[in-house]
Structure 1
Amino acid sequence: MERKSVGIVSVDDGGFSTCIVTKDKMDKIPSVKGNYGKDRNLTTITGKHDFIIEYKDKVYCAGTLAQFDCELPIKWFGKSKAHIFFDLSVLLSCFLYGYIENYVAVSVPLGSHTPEEKKNRTERLVGSHTMTVNGVTKTFYISDVIVTPESASAYWINEPLQLTRWLDFGSRTSNFASTFNDGESVRYIDTQSGSFYKGIEQLGENFNSIDLVDYVCGRLFAKGWETEDTINILGGGALIPELVEAAISYFPRAQVMENPSMANAIGMYNLARYAFQMS
Protein backbone atom coordinates (compact mmCIF):
# COMPACT_ATOMS: atom_id res chain seq x y z
CA MET A 1 0.00 0.00 0.00
CA GLU A 2 1.36 3.42 -0.93
CA ARG A 3 2.19 5.65 2.02
CA LYS A 4 0.18 8.81 2.50
CA SER A 5 2.22 11.90 1.83
CA VAL A 6 1.61 14.14 4.89
CA GLY A 7 0.48 13.53 8.46
CA ILE A 8 1.00 13.77 12.22
CA VAL A 9 3.04 11.27 14.21
CA SER A 10 2.74 11.48 18.00
CA VAL A 11 5.62 9.80 19.83
CA ASP A 12 5.68 9.56 23.62
CA ASP A 13 9.27 8.37 23.64
CA GLY A 14 9.72 7.04 27.13
CA GLY A 15 12.64 5.20 28.66
CA PHE A 16 10.81 1.86 28.81
CA SER A 17 8.24 2.11 26.02
CA THR A 18 7.75 4.24 22.93
CA CYS A 19 4.04 4.92 22.40
CA ILE A 20 3.01 5.93 18.87
CA VAL A 21 -0.26 7.43 17.62
CA THR A 22 -1.17 8.49 14.09
CA LYS A 23 -4.52 9.11 12.45
CA ASP A 24 -5.18 5.40 11.99
CA LYS A 25 -2.48 3.55 13.97
CA MET A 26 -1.48 3.00 17.60
CA ASP A 27 1.45 0.94 18.82
CA LYS A 28 3.81 0.54 21.76
CA ILE A 29 7.43 -0.52 21.21
CA PRO A 30 10.13 -1.34 23.78
CA SER A 31 12.50 1.64 23.85
CA VAL A 32 15.68 -0.31 24.60
CA LYS A 33 18.45 -0.12 21.98
CA GLY A 34 22.08 -1.08 21.60
CA ASN A 35 25.00 -1.45 19.27
CA TYR A 36 24.33 -4.27 16.81
CA GLY A 37 27.90 -5.51 17.09
CA LYS A 38 29.88 -7.79 14.80
CA ASP A 39 30.24 -11.50 14.04
CA ARG A 40 26.57 -12.33 14.54
CA ASN A 41 25.67 -15.78 13.19
CA LEU A 42 22.26 -16.56 14.70
CA THR A 43 20.37 -13.26 14.60
CA THR A 44 16.89 -13.62 13.13
CA ILE A 45 13.96 -11.23 12.94
CA THR A 46 11.02 -13.17 14.32
CA GLY A 47 8.98 -10.66 16.36
CA LYS A 48 6.89 -7.67 15.33
CA HIS A 49 9.17 -5.39 17.34
CA ASP A 50 12.54 -6.90 16.39
CA PHE A 51 14.54 -4.18 14.63
CA ILE A 52 17.98 -3.82 13.07
CA ILE A 53 18.42 -0.10 12.35
CA GLU A 54 21.04 1.43 10.06
CA TYR A 55 21.30 5.19 10.46
CA LYS A 56 24.17 7.55 9.70
CA ASP A 57 26.73 4.77 9.21
CA LYS A 58 25.90 3.06 12.49
CA VAL A 59 23.97 -0.15 13.07
CA TYR A 60 21.73 -0.64 16.10
CA CYS A 61 19.45 -3.34 17.40
CA ALA A 62 16.22 -2.10 18.95
CA GLY A 63 12.96 -3.21 20.46
CA THR A 64 12.55 -6.84 21.47
CA LEU A 65 15.72 -7.76 19.58
CA ALA A 66 17.71 -5.48 21.90
CA GLN A 67 15.84 -6.87 24.90
CA PHE A 68 16.75 -10.46 24.16
CA ASP A 69 19.88 -10.38 21.99
CA CYS A 70 22.12 -7.40 22.70
CA GLU A 71 25.40 -7.63 24.60
CA LEU A 72 25.23 -4.05 25.95
CA PRO A 73 21.62 -2.79 25.82
CA ILE A 74 21.27 0.94 26.40
CA LYS A 75 18.68 2.77 28.45
CA TRP A 76 18.82 6.51 29.07
CA PHE A 77 17.99 8.16 32.40
CA GLY A 78 19.49 11.62 31.83
CA LYS A 79 17.23 14.63 32.33
CA SER A 80 17.53 15.82 28.72
CA LYS A 81 15.94 13.85 25.90
CA ALA A 82 18.12 15.56 23.28
CA HIS A 83 20.04 12.32 22.74
CA ILE A 84 20.41 9.70 20.01
CA PHE A 85 18.51 7.19 22.20
CA PHE A 86 15.34 9.26 21.85
CA ASP A 87 16.10 10.47 18.32
CA LEU A 88 16.04 6.85 17.17
CA SER A 89 12.71 6.24 18.94
CA VAL A 90 11.13 9.10 16.98
CA LEU A 91 12.74 8.25 13.67
CA LEU A 92 11.81 4.58 13.93
CA SER A 93 8.21 5.62 14.69
CA CYS A 94 8.13 7.78 11.55
CA PHE A 95 9.71 4.98 9.53
CA LEU A 96 7.13 2.43 10.66
CA TYR A 97 3.94 4.49 10.83
CA GLY A 98 4.67 7.90 9.38
CA TYR A 99 4.49 9.70 6.09
CA ILE A 100 6.77 11.14 3.46
CA GLU A 101 6.32 14.50 5.23
CA ASN A 102 5.84 14.25 9.00
CA TYR A 103 4.61 16.71 11.61
CA VAL A 104 5.79 15.24 14.89
CA ALA A 105 4.80 15.56 18.55
CA VAL A 106 7.34 14.40 21.13
CA SER A 107 7.37 14.53 24.93
CA VAL A 108 9.68 15.72 27.69
CA PRO A 109 9.28 15.64 31.47
CA LEU A 110 7.29 18.62 32.65
CA GLY A 111 10.25 19.86 34.68
CA SER A 112 12.39 19.86 31.53
CA HIS A 113 9.83 21.61 29.31
CA THR A 114 12.10 24.60 28.83
CA PRO A 115 12.79 26.73 25.74
CA GLU A 116 16.31 25.28 25.52
CA GLU A 117 15.17 21.64 25.73
CA LYS A 118 12.41 22.23 23.18
CA LYS A 119 14.86 23.93 20.82
CA ASN A 120 17.41 21.13 21.17
CA ARG A 121 14.88 18.39 20.54
CA THR A 122 13.41 20.17 17.54
CA GLU A 123 16.75 20.91 15.89
CA ARG A 124 17.83 17.28 16.18
CA LEU A 125 14.71 16.02 14.43
CA VAL A 126 13.66 18.53 11.75
CA GLY A 127 14.97 17.69 8.30
CA SER A 128 15.42 14.80 5.88
CA HIS A 129 16.28 11.34 7.22
CA THR A 130 17.30 8.15 5.44
CA MET A 131 17.04 5.01 7.54
CA THR A 132 17.21 1.28 6.87
CA VAL A 133 15.19 -1.04 9.11
CA ASN A 134 15.41 -4.80 8.68
CA GLY A 135 16.84 -4.35 5.20
CA VAL A 136 14.24 -1.85 3.94
CA THR A 137 15.40 1.72 3.22
CA LYS A 138 13.16 4.78 3.34
CA THR A 139 13.75 8.51 3.14
CA PHE A 140 11.28 10.80 4.91
CA TYR A 141 11.11 14.39 6.08
CA ILE A 142 10.19 15.91 9.46
CA SER A 143 8.80 19.36 8.71
CA ASP A 144 8.05 20.55 12.23
CA VAL A 145 8.06 19.34 15.83
CA ILE A 146 5.94 20.25 18.83
CA VAL A 147 7.52 19.36 22.19
CA THR A 148 4.83 18.58 24.75
CA PRO A 149 4.90 18.23 28.57
CA GLU A 150 4.43 14.72 29.91
CA SER A 151 1.29 14.25 32.04
CA ALA A 152 -0.24 17.62 31.06
CA SER A 153 -0.65 16.38 27.48
CA ALA A 154 -3.30 13.91 28.62
CA TYR A 155 -5.65 16.87 29.16
CA TRP A 156 -6.23 17.00 25.40
CA ILE A 157 -7.96 13.62 25.30
CA ASN A 158 -11.23 14.83 26.85
CA GLU A 159 -10.48 18.48 27.80
CA PRO A 160 -12.29 18.30 31.18
CA LEU A 161 -13.82 21.38 32.76
CA GLN A 162 -12.71 23.00 36.01
CA LEU A 163 -9.58 22.04 37.97
CA THR A 164 -8.13 18.67 37.05
CA ARG A 165 -4.92 16.99 38.18
CA TRP A 166 -2.78 14.56 36.18
CA LEU A 167 -0.39 12.12 37.86
CA ASP A 168 1.96 10.23 35.54
CA PHE A 169 4.15 7.45 36.93
CA GLY A 170 6.74 6.67 34.25
CA SER A 171 9.91 4.66 33.89
CA ARG A 172 12.27 7.66 34.19
CA THR A 173 10.21 10.28 36.01
CA SER A 174 6.99 10.90 37.90
CA ASN A 175 5.20 13.94 36.46
CA PHE A 176 2.29 15.88 37.87
CA ALA A 177 0.20 18.56 36.17
CA SER A 178 -2.75 20.81 36.93
CA THR A 179 -5.15 22.22 34.33
CA PHE A 180 -8.10 24.58 34.66
CA ASN A 181 -10.83 24.91 32.04
CA ASP A 182 -13.53 27.50 32.79
CA GLY A 183 -15.47 26.77 29.61
CA GLU A 184 -13.97 29.69 27.71
CA SER A 185 -10.23 29.09 28.06
CA VAL A 186 -7.84 26.50 29.42
CA ARG A 187 -4.63 27.07 31.31
CA TYR A 188 -1.84 24.97 32.75
CA ILE A 189 -1.14 25.88 36.38
CA ASP A 190 2.64 25.91 36.43
CA THR A 191 3.03 26.45 40.19
CA GLN A 192 1.09 23.23 40.85
CA SER A 193 2.85 21.11 38.24
CA GLY A 194 6.30 19.60 37.82
CA SER A 195 8.49 16.49 37.75
CA PHE A 196 10.17 14.22 40.23
CA TYR A 197 13.17 12.48 38.71
CA LYS A 198 12.17 9.22 40.32
CA GLY A 199 10.72 6.52 38.10
CA ILE A 200 9.92 2.85 38.05
CA GLU A 201 12.98 1.76 36.05
CA GLN A 202 15.16 4.65 37.17
CA LEU A 203 14.99 3.32 40.73
CA GLY A 204 16.09 -0.14 39.60
CA GLU A 205 16.18 -2.74 42.36
CA ASN A 206 15.20 -0.04 44.86
CA PHE A 207 11.76 0.37 43.26
CA ASN A 208 8.85 -0.20 45.59
CA SER A 209 5.36 0.95 44.62
CA ILE A 210 4.34 2.20 48.04
CA ASP A 211 7.65 3.96 48.66
CA LEU A 212 7.45 5.79 45.32
CA VAL A 213 3.86 6.88 45.96
CA ASP A 214 4.77 8.07 49.46
CA TYR A 215 7.65 10.09 48.01
CA VAL A 216 5.54 11.68 45.25
CA CYS A 217 2.13 12.17 46.86
CA GLY A 218 3.46 13.48 50.14
CA ARG A 219 5.14 16.30 48.20
CA LEU A 220 2.08 17.10 46.10
CA PHE A 221 0.30 18.68 49.09
CA ALA A 222 3.11 21.26 49.23
CA LYS A 223 2.23 22.07 45.59
CA GLY A 224 -1.37 22.93 46.47
CA TRP A 225 -2.95 19.57 45.72
CA GLU A 226 -5.87 18.63 47.98
CA THR A 227 -7.21 15.28 49.13
CA GLU A 228 -10.54 15.70 47.31
CA ASP A 229 -9.10 16.87 44.00
CA THR A 230 -10.09 15.19 40.73
CA ILE A 231 -6.97 13.26 39.70
CA ASN A 232 -6.26 11.14 36.63
CA ILE A 233 -3.51 8.52 36.96
CA LEU A 234 -1.60 7.57 33.81
CA GLY A 235 1.70 6.14 32.64
CA GLY A 236 3.08 2.64 32.97
CA GLY A 237 2.79 2.85 36.75
CA ALA A 238 -0.99 3.01 36.39
CA LEU A 239 -0.86 -0.66 35.37
CA ILE A 240 0.56 -1.66 38.78
CA PRO A 241 -2.40 -2.30 41.14
CA GLU A 242 -0.37 -1.81 44.33
CA LEU A 243 0.84 1.60 43.12
CA VAL A 244 -2.68 2.71 42.18
CA GLU A 245 -4.10 1.60 45.53
CA ALA A 246 -1.39 3.54 47.35
CA ALA A 247 -2.13 6.69 45.32
CA ILE A 248 -5.87 6.40 46.04
CA SER A 249 -5.10 6.22 49.75
CA TYR A 250 -3.82 9.81 49.41
CA PHE A 251 -6.42 10.98 46.87
CA PRO A 252 -9.69 8.99 47.15
CA ARG A 253 -11.13 10.56 43.97
CA ALA A 254 -8.15 9.53 41.87
CA GLN A 255 -8.89 7.20 38.97
CA VAL A 256 -6.87 5.39 36.34
CA MET A 257 -7.33 6.71 32.81
CA GLU A 258 -8.47 4.46 30.00
CA ASN A 259 -5.41 2.96 28.27
CA PRO A 260 -3.12 4.78 30.74
CA SER A 261 0.22 3.87 29.14
CA MET A 262 -0.94 5.42 25.84
CA ALA A 263 -2.67 8.47 27.38
CA ASN A 264 0.19 10.91 26.83
CA ALA A 265 0.59 9.90 23.20
CA ILE A 266 -3.15 10.18 22.49
CA GLY A 267 -3.37 13.62 24.10
CA MET A 268 -0.22 14.71 22.25
CA TYR A 269 -1.79 13.69 18.96
CA ASN A 270 -4.89 15.78 19.65
CA LEU A 271 -2.76 18.76 20.71
CA ALA A 272 -0.66 18.42 17.55
CA ARG A 273 -3.82 18.57 15.44
CA TYR A 274 -4.52 22.00 16.97
CA ALA A 275 -0.91 23.14 16.69
CA PHE A 276 -0.44 22.08 13.07
CA GLN A 277 -4.03 22.83 12.00
CA MET A 278 -4.46 19.35 10.57
CA SER A 279 -7.41 16.97 10.80
Structure 2
Amino acid sequence: MILSIDGGSENVKAAGENIIDIFPSVIGEYRDRKKKDKHGSSDMEFEINGKRGFAGSLAIVESVFTSTIRGETKAHHYLKIRVLLALHRNCNERNVKIVAGQPISMHTDTEKNKIIVMLKGEHKITVNGVTKEFFIEECVVGLEGAAAYLCIQRPGKIRIIDIGGGTVNLATILNGSFVDKESRTLPFGFNSSADKSKGEHIIQATYNEAYNLGWRSDDEVYFVGGPAETLISKVINYFSNTQVIAPLLDGEMLEPVFGTAVGLLLIGRAVYAKDGQENSGV
Protein backbone atom coordinates (compact mmCIF):
# COMPACT_ATOMS: atom_id res chain seq x y z
CA MET A 1 0.00 0.00 0.00
CA ILE A 2 1.17 3.53 -0.79
CA LEU A 3 -0.09 6.45 1.28
CA SER A 4 0.92 10.10 1.05
CA ILE A 5 0.69 12.27 4.15
CA ASP A 6 0.79 16.06 3.99
CA GLY A 7 1.26 16.77 7.69
CA GLY A 8 0.47 20.48 7.77
CA SER A 9 0.20 22.61 10.90
CA GLU A 10 -3.53 23.19 10.31
CA ASN A 11 -4.70 19.83 8.93
CA VAL A 12 -3.23 16.46 8.06
CA LYS A 13 -4.16 15.36 4.55
CA ALA A 14 -3.77 11.77 3.37
CA ALA A 15 -4.21 10.29 -0.09
CA GLY A 16 -4.03 6.76 -1.46
CA GLU A 17 -5.95 4.35 -3.65
CA ASN A 18 -9.61 4.95 -2.75
CA ILE A 19 -8.41 7.07 0.19
CA ILE A 20 -8.83 10.78 0.82
CA ASP A 21 -8.73 11.96 4.42
CA ILE A 22 -8.31 15.19 6.36
CA PHE A 23 -8.23 15.84 10.09
CA PRO A 24 -6.98 18.64 12.40
CA SER A 25 -3.25 18.51 13.16
CA VAL A 26 -3.70 19.49 16.80
CA ILE A 27 -1.99 17.26 19.38
CA GLY A 28 -2.77 17.67 23.08
CA GLU A 29 -2.09 16.07 26.43
CA TYR A 30 -4.12 13.16 27.76
CA ARG A 31 -6.31 13.50 30.83
CA ASP A 32 -9.02 11.45 32.46
CA ARG A 33 -12.52 12.58 31.47
CA LYS A 34 -15.56 12.14 33.70
CA LYS A 35 -17.88 11.77 30.70
CA LYS A 36 -16.57 10.88 27.28
CA ASP A 37 -18.79 12.93 25.01
CA LYS A 38 -18.06 13.01 21.28
CA HIS A 39 -16.78 16.34 19.95
CA GLY A 40 -16.20 15.58 16.29
CA SER A 41 -15.50 12.95 13.65
CA SER A 42 -11.77 13.16 14.30
CA ASP A 43 -11.84 12.54 18.08
CA MET A 44 -8.68 10.52 18.75
CA GLU A 45 -7.30 9.26 22.05
CA PHE A 46 -3.94 7.68 21.22
CA GLU A 47 -1.01 5.88 22.78
CA ILE A 48 2.45 5.55 21.22
CA ASN A 49 5.39 3.98 23.08
CA GLY A 50 3.53 4.29 26.38
CA LYS A 51 2.74 7.98 25.87
CA ARG A 52 -0.93 8.90 25.74
CA GLY A 53 -2.51 11.98 24.20
CA PHE A 54 -5.49 13.51 22.48
CA ALA A 55 -5.56 14.45 18.80
CA GLY A 56 -7.86 16.06 16.29
CA SER A 57 -11.23 17.38 17.40
CA LEU A 58 -10.80 15.78 20.84
CA ALA A 59 -7.56 17.69 21.50
CA ILE A 60 -9.13 20.95 20.34
CA VAL A 61 -11.90 20.68 22.94
CA GLU A 62 -10.47 18.66 25.83
CA SER A 63 -6.72 19.34 25.97
CA VAL A 64 -5.44 22.36 27.89
CA PHE A 65 -2.02 22.42 26.23
CA THR A 66 -2.15 21.89 22.49
CA SER A 67 0.42 22.23 19.74
CA THR A 68 0.62 22.01 15.99
CA ILE A 69 4.32 23.06 15.60
CA ARG A 70 4.67 25.48 12.71
CA GLY A 71 7.94 25.98 10.92
CA GLU A 72 10.07 25.37 7.86
CA THR A 73 10.87 21.72 8.62
CA LYS A 74 8.75 18.67 9.32
CA ALA A 75 11.64 16.74 10.88
CA HIS A 76 10.06 16.61 14.34
CA HIS A 77 8.17 14.09 16.47
CA TYR A 78 4.79 15.71 15.80
CA LEU A 79 5.07 14.62 12.17
CA LYS A 80 5.60 11.04 13.33
CA ILE A 81 2.43 11.21 15.43
CA ARG A 82 0.46 12.71 12.53
CA VAL A 83 1.72 10.03 10.13
CA LEU A 84 0.82 7.19 12.51
CA LEU A 85 -2.63 8.68 13.13
CA ALA A 86 -3.17 8.92 9.36
CA LEU A 87 -2.07 5.31 8.93
CA HIS A 88 -4.36 4.11 11.72
CA ARG A 89 -7.33 5.95 10.18
CA ASN A 90 -6.76 4.73 6.64
CA CYS A 91 -4.71 1.53 6.57
CA ASN A 92 -5.54 -2.03 7.56
CA GLU A 93 -2.38 -3.49 6.07
CA ARG A 94 0.78 -3.95 8.09
CA ASN A 95 3.29 -3.13 5.38
CA VAL A 96 3.09 0.32 3.81
CA LYS A 97 5.17 2.70 1.72
CA ILE A 98 4.64 6.38 2.42
CA VAL A 99 5.37 9.79 0.95
CA ALA A 100 5.77 12.75 3.30
CA GLY A 101 6.14 16.43 2.52
CA GLN A 102 8.86 18.89 3.51
CA PRO A 103 8.78 22.69 3.01
CA ILE A 104 10.94 23.94 0.15
CA SER A 105 13.50 25.95 2.11
CA MET A 106 14.43 22.98 4.34
CA HIS A 107 14.23 20.32 1.65
CA THR A 108 17.87 19.35 2.21
CA ASP A 109 19.45 15.90 2.29
CA THR A 110 20.03 16.28 6.04
CA GLU A 111 16.45 17.22 6.89
CA LYS A 112 14.97 14.65 4.50
CA ASN A 113 17.12 11.92 6.03
CA LYS A 114 15.92 12.87 9.52
CA ILE A 115 12.34 12.31 8.38
CA ILE A 116 13.14 9.03 6.61
CA VAL A 117 15.03 7.61 9.61
CA MET A 118 12.25 8.71 11.98
CA LEU A 119 9.47 7.11 9.96
CA LYS A 120 10.89 3.92 8.47
CA GLY A 121 10.54 0.68 10.40
CA GLU A 122 8.22 -0.83 12.99
CA HIS A 123 5.51 1.23 14.69
CA LYS A 124 2.66 0.47 17.07
CA ILE A 125 -0.20 2.85 17.83
CA THR A 126 -3.45 2.54 19.73
CA VAL A 127 -6.28 4.92 18.78
CA ASN A 128 -9.61 4.88 20.63
CA GLY A 129 -8.81 1.45 22.04
CA VAL A 130 -7.83 -0.17 18.72
CA THR A 131 -4.18 -1.19 18.36
CA LYS A 132 -2.49 -1.45 14.98
CA GLU A 133 1.08 -2.29 14.03
CA PHE A 134 2.75 -0.96 10.90
CA PHE A 135 6.01 -1.59 9.12
CA ILE A 136 6.91 1.42 6.99
CA GLU A 137 9.04 -0.24 4.34
CA GLU A 138 10.05 2.89 2.50
CA CYS A 139 9.66 6.64 2.81
CA VAL A 140 9.99 9.30 0.12
CA VAL A 141 10.14 12.99 1.05
CA GLY A 142 8.70 15.38 -1.53
CA LEU A 143 8.58 19.14 -1.94
CA GLU A 144 5.50 20.76 -0.45
CA GLY A 145 3.72 22.99 -2.93
CA ALA A 146 5.94 21.97 -5.83
CA ALA A 147 4.47 18.46 -5.69
CA ALA A 148 1.12 19.92 -6.75
CA TYR A 149 2.64 20.51 -10.20
CA LEU A 150 1.93 16.86 -10.93
CA CYS A 151 -1.76 17.73 -10.78
CA ILE A 152 -1.39 20.02 -13.82
CA GLN A 153 1.88 19.09 -15.64
CA ARG A 154 1.94 22.01 -18.05
CA PRO A 155 4.95 23.04 -20.19
CA GLY A 156 6.80 26.31 -19.75
CA LYS A 157 7.48 28.22 -16.55
CA ILE A 158 4.85 27.58 -13.88
CA ARG A 159 4.59 29.30 -10.50
CA ILE A 160 2.82 27.62 -7.58
CA ILE A 161 1.66 29.32 -4.39
CA ASP A 162 0.85 26.91 -1.57
CA ILE A 163 -0.58 28.68 1.48
CA GLY A 164 -0.74 26.63 4.64
CA GLY A 165 -1.52 27.45 8.23
CA GLY A 166 2.06 28.28 9.19
CA THR A 167 4.03 28.70 5.97
CA VAL A 168 3.72 29.71 2.33
CA ASN A 169 5.60 27.67 -0.27
CA LEU A 170 6.56 29.47 -3.48
CA ALA A 171 7.56 26.97 -6.17
CA THR A 172 8.79 27.52 -9.72
CA ILE A 173 8.70 24.69 -12.26
CA LEU A 174 10.28 25.01 -15.71
CA ASN A 175 9.18 22.33 -18.19
CA GLY A 176 8.71 19.87 -15.34
CA SER A 177 11.96 20.68 -13.49
CA PHE A 178 12.12 22.47 -10.14
CA VAL A 179 13.89 25.87 -10.20
CA ASP A 180 15.48 26.34 -6.79
CA LYS A 181 16.62 29.97 -7.13
CA GLU A 182 13.05 31.13 -7.79
CA SER A 183 11.46 29.10 -5.00
CA ARG A 184 11.38 29.29 -1.20
CA THR A 185 9.31 28.85 1.94
CA LEU A 186 7.98 31.96 3.68
CA PRO A 187 7.81 31.85 7.53
CA PHE A 188 4.15 32.86 7.79
CA GLY A 189 0.78 31.42 6.81
CA PHE A 190 -2.96 31.83 6.94
CA ASN A 191 -2.99 31.41 10.73
CA SER A 192 -0.14 33.83 11.40
CA SER A 193 -2.80 36.43 12.21
CA ALA A 194 -5.75 35.87 14.51
CA ASP A 195 -7.78 38.10 12.18
CA LYS A 196 -8.49 36.04 9.03
CA SER A 197 -9.68 39.20 7.26
CA LYS A 198 -5.99 40.07 7.03
CA GLY A 199 -5.62 37.58 4.20
CA GLU A 200 -4.92 40.66 2.09
CA HIS A 201 -1.79 41.32 4.15
CA ILE A 202 -0.58 37.74 3.70
CA ILE A 203 -1.06 37.92 -0.06
CA GLN A 204 0.71 41.28 -0.28
CA ALA A 205 3.66 39.95 1.74
CA THR A 206 3.71 36.83 -0.45
CA TYR A 207 3.77 38.96 -3.61
CA ASN A 208 6.65 41.07 -2.28
CA GLU A 209 8.73 37.97 -1.50
CA ALA A 210 7.85 36.37 -4.85
CA TYR A 211 8.80 39.56 -6.71
CA ASN A 212 12.23 39.42 -5.06
CA LEU A 213 12.60 35.90 -6.44
CA GLY A 214 11.92 37.11 -9.98
CA TRP A 215 8.18 36.45 -10.19
CA ARG A 216 6.14 38.98 -12.17
CA SER A 217 2.47 39.92 -12.13
CA ASP A 218 1.70 38.33 -15.51
CA ASP A 219 3.33 34.96 -14.74
CA GLU A 220 1.30 31.76 -15.04
CA VAL A 221 0.45 31.07 -11.39
CA TYR A 222 -1.40 28.20 -9.76
CA PHE A 223 -2.83 28.47 -6.27
CA VAL A 224 -3.20 25.54 -3.89
CA GLY A 225 -3.85 24.92 -0.21
CA GLY A 226 -6.72 25.19 2.24
CA PRO A 227 -7.34 28.96 1.84
CA ALA A 228 -6.98 28.90 -1.97
CA GLU A 229 -10.65 29.38 -2.81
CA THR A 230 -11.03 32.02 -0.09
CA LEU A 231 -8.03 34.09 -1.18
CA ILE A 232 -8.03 33.65 -4.97
CA SER A 233 -9.75 37.01 -5.53
CA LYS A 234 -6.98 38.74 -3.58
CA VAL A 235 -4.19 36.86 -5.37
CA ILE A 236 -5.53 37.91 -8.78
CA ASN A 237 -5.00 41.54 -7.76
CA TYR A 238 -1.26 40.81 -7.70
CA PHE A 239 -0.90 37.91 -10.15
CA SER A 240 -3.52 38.43 -12.85
CA ASN A 241 -2.97 35.03 -14.51
CA THR A 242 -3.80 32.87 -11.48
CA GLN A 243 -6.07 29.86 -11.14
CA VAL A 244 -6.81 27.43 -8.34
CA ILE A 245 -5.61 23.84 -8.65
CA ALA A 246 -8.46 21.36 -8.21
CA PRO A 247 -6.47 18.09 -8.00
CA LEU A 248 -7.75 15.05 -9.83
CA LEU A 249 -7.12 11.67 -8.21
CA ASP A 250 -8.18 8.51 -10.02
CA GLY A 251 -10.96 10.39 -11.79
CA GLU A 252 -12.25 12.25 -8.72
CA MET A 253 -11.92 16.04 -8.49
CA LEU A 254 -10.88 17.18 -5.01
CA GLU A 255 -10.63 20.44 -3.10
CA PRO A 256 -7.43 22.57 -3.41
CA VAL A 257 -6.40 21.63 0.14
CA PHE A 258 -5.45 18.19 -1.23
CA GLY A 259 -3.13 19.54 -3.96
CA THR A 260 0.15 18.67 -2.24
CA ALA A 261 -1.14 15.35 -0.88
CA VAL A 262 -2.22 14.21 -4.36
CA GLY A 263 1.06 15.41 -5.87
CA LEU A 264 3.03 13.51 -3.23
CA LEU A 265 1.01 10.36 -3.95
CA LEU A 266 1.78 10.64 -7.67
CA ILE A 267 5.48 11.01 -6.81
CA GLY A 268 5.28 7.90 -4.66
CA ARG A 269 3.56 5.87 -7.33
CA ALA A 270 6.26 6.83 -9.83
CA VAL A 271 9.21 6.28 -7.50
CA TYR A 272 8.01 3.01 -6.01
CA ALA A 273 7.44 1.63 -9.51
CA LYS A 274 11.19 1.86 -10.10
CA ASP A 275 13.32 -0.87 -8.59
CA GLY A 276 16.04 0.30 -6.23
CA GLN A 277 14.80 3.90 -5.86
CA GLU A 278 12.20 3.53 -3.12
CA ASN A 279 14.26 5.21 -0.39
CA SER A 280 15.32 8.30 -2.30
CA GLY A 281 14.31 11.88 -1.50
CA VAL A 282 12.46 13.78 -4.23
What TM-score, normalized by structure 1, do the two folds share?
0.91
SS at match of 1:262: helix
SS at match of 1:250: coil
Would you say how many aligned residue pairs link Structure 1 and Structure 2? 265
Give the alignment partner of residue 250 of structure 1, picking from 238, 243, 250: 238
Per-residue CA deviations over 1:126-178 (Å, capped at 9, x if unaligned) read 01111111001111110111111111000112311211110011101011101
Contact 1:10 1:20 in 2 (8 A): yes
Aligned residue number for residue 4 of structure 1: none
Give the alignment partner of residue 195 of structure 1, picking from 185, 196, 205: 185
Aligned residue number for residue 219 of structure 2: 229
Q: Which moved more, 1:7-16 or 1:269-278?
A: 269-278
Aligned residue number for residue 96 of structure 1: 89
2:109 partner letter: P
Aligned residue number for residue 26 of structure 1: 20
Query: Is structure 2 residue 50 aligned with structure 1 residue 57?
Result: yes
Give the alignment partner of residue 83 of structure 1, picking from 76, 85, 91: 76
Shift of 1:205: 4.9
Q: Which moved more, 1:122-131 or 1:223-232?
A: 223-232
1:171–1:207 Cα change, 3 Å = farther
Contact 2:4 2:99 in 1 (8 A): yes
Could you tell me which runs of 5 or more consecutive residues in structure 2 were left unpaired when the two chains were aligned.
247-254, 275-282
Aligned counterparts of 2:95 and 2:206: Cα–Cα separation in 1: 40
Aligned counterparts of 2:39 and 2:256: Cα–Cα separation in 1: 28
Aligned residue number for residue 111 of structure 1: 105
Query: Is structure 2 residue 150 aligned with structure 1 residue 156?
Result: yes
Aligned counterparts of 1:78 and 1:170: Cα–Cα separation in 2: 11
Q: Which moved more, 1:78-87 or 1:99-108?
A: 78-87
Aligned residue number for residue 139 of structure 1: 133
Query: Is structure 2 residue 161 aligned with structure 1 residue 167?
Result: yes
1:67 partner letter: I
Aligned counterparts of 2:190 and 2:8: Cα–Cα separation in 1: 12
Aligned residue number for residue 114 of structure 2: 120
Contact 1:77 1:202 in 2 (8 A): no
Aligned residue number for residue 264 of structure 1: 260
Aligned residue number for residue 3 of structure 1: none
Aligned counterparts of 1:70 and 1:86: Cα–Cα separation in 2: 19
Q: Which moved more, 1:110-119 or 1:203-212?
A: 203-212
Sequence identity percentage: 28
Aligned residue number for residue 277 of structure 2: none
Q: Which moved more, 1:145-154 or 1:156-165?
A: 156-165
Shift of 1:45: 4.3
Aligned counterparts of 1:62 and 1:214: Cα–Cα separation in 2: 34
